[in-house]
Amino acid sequence: MSNPLQKKFKLRADQIRNLVGPMGGALATDRITVDGMPVGYMYRETPDRPEDSGWRFFSGDEDQAYVDDAANTSIYAVNTIANYDPDIIGFLETPAPCAFEKIQGTHDYQEVEQ
């Protein structure tokens, strides 16, 4: 994964508010944190470390080559990603395994098969 300190984020650090309590880290793509796209697809897997929330966040338009390039993803606090797209907040307590896809043109998600 790339060094998030070298990226030009859509939100500045002083724009990040405390929206959710500490949940651990989450993987998110640059389409969200750099390009400012909303979360279009998210899934939670069983974490293998205590500091991992199990959440993985994508805009939904990344192709496999983009996802396979570690430079396009980083680990963030779940709260950080909630600041990029507060629509995810209502789903964050869903136990793993789960997956959700944003319903196009809305702020709602629907559960999908992984």
Residue type, 27: L
Gyration radius from the chain CA atoms: 13
Res 1: pLDDT? 58
- Mean pLDDT over 37-55 rounds to 97
**69 has a pLDDT exceeding 70:** yes
Cβ atoms 8, 34 nearer than 8 A: yes
How far is it between the farthest Cα atoms of the chain? Answer: 37
- Mean pLDDT over 64-92 rounds to 98
Q: Measured between alpha carbons, how far is 86 from 43 in angstroms, rounded to an integer?
A: 16
Please, which pLDDT band fits residue 113 given cuts at 50, 70 and 90? confident
Q: Measured between alpha carbons, how far is 102 from 100 in angstroms, rounded to an integer?
A: 7
pTM over 0.85: yes
